[in-house]
Amino acid sequence: MTGQNKDDIKKRPIRSYILRQGRISPSQTRAIQENFHKYAIPFENRPKDFRNIFENKKGDLILEIGFGMGTSTAEIAKSNLDKNYIAIEVYSPGVGNLIKLIHESNISNLKIIQHDAVEVLNSMVKNHSLNGMHIFFPDPWPKKRHHKRRLIQSTLLELIAKKIKKSGYLHIATDWEEYALWIIDLLCKEELLQKSSDDFLKKTECRPFTKYENRGIKLGYKVWNIIYSRI
């Protein structure tokens, strides 16, 4: 590791993503250039009252970490117009695609933050302000030496629990069984969250199938819907 000393490496902040290159299409680039200011919320290093940016200020506030290309996120928002959604993603192709979907369907109850989710939670999201949180199909990082890169860690769950209101929920979906068991084990140790059901393999109505989920089901993968309530 050239040009870096151990102290510099230790001081690196914990992040919710691993930097990767992604190819962005002309339509995604155009969506960002033309409409980012309409549908995205700039990162701020201070708490924000997200309800004030939506038309329905009394609607439940749901936050999603890592929406990928945003297709399911847009479908969920369109199907639940009484709720407001904040969707966080760092990768520009996904951000551009979701902005395009929001603009084409005129979705008024969905906003994007293009920033690291851990920093957003720490800086912008007030404690006890969320009615729910979604984390759908986070990267399982299956190799043991890469487990430290997994998004779901005890520190993140502790932070999430503080942000959710009592009786609110956390919904995590994964099609990687070992990762599902890892997540459940960590959740069982989080005192502020309790499981809503013992049937983690039951399909929920609130989440549409994704393209990758359908592909996984055809290959015989089971999808785990892990839902915990804030107590």
* Residue pLDDT, tens place only, 48-69: 999 999 999 999 999 999 999 9
Q: Of residues 164 and 20, which shows the higher confidence score?
A: 164
Which of 13-22, 194-203, 216-225 ranks highest by mean pLDDT? 194-203
Does pLDDT of 19 surpass 80? no
pLDDT-derived band of residue 203, with 50, 70 and 90 as boundaries? confident
3-state secondary structure the chain: CCCCCHHHHHCCCCCCCCCCCCCCCHHHHHHHHHHHHHHECCCCCCCCCHHHHCCCCCCEEEEEECCCCCHHHHHHHHHCCCEEEEEECCCHHHHHHHHHHHHHHCCCCEEEECCCHHHHHHHCCCCCCEEEEEEECCCCCCCHHHHHHCCCCHHHHHHHHHHEEEEEEEEEEECCHHHHHHHHHHHHCCCCEEECCCCCCCCCCCCCCCHHHHHHHHCCCCCEEEEEEEC
pLDDT-derived band of residue 8, with 50, 70 and 90 as boundaries? very low
pLDDT-derived band of residue 14, with 50, 70 and 90 as boundaries? low
Catalytic residue among 7, 49, 139, 199: 139
CATH class, range 23-230: alpha beta
* Residue pLDDT, tens place only, 121-159: 999 999 999 999 999 999 999 999 999 999 999 999 999
- pTM of the predicted protein model: 0.89
Domain boundaries defined on the chain: 23-230
**Which pLDDT does position 4 carry in this prediction?**
41
Does pLDDT of 2 surpass 70? no
* Residue pLDDT, tens place only, 80-131: 999 999 999 999 999 999 999 999 999 999 999 999 999 999 999 999 999 9
**Which pLDDT does position 11 carry in this prediction?**
42
Residue range 28-37: mean pLDDT, rounded: 98
Is 139 catalytic? The answer is yes
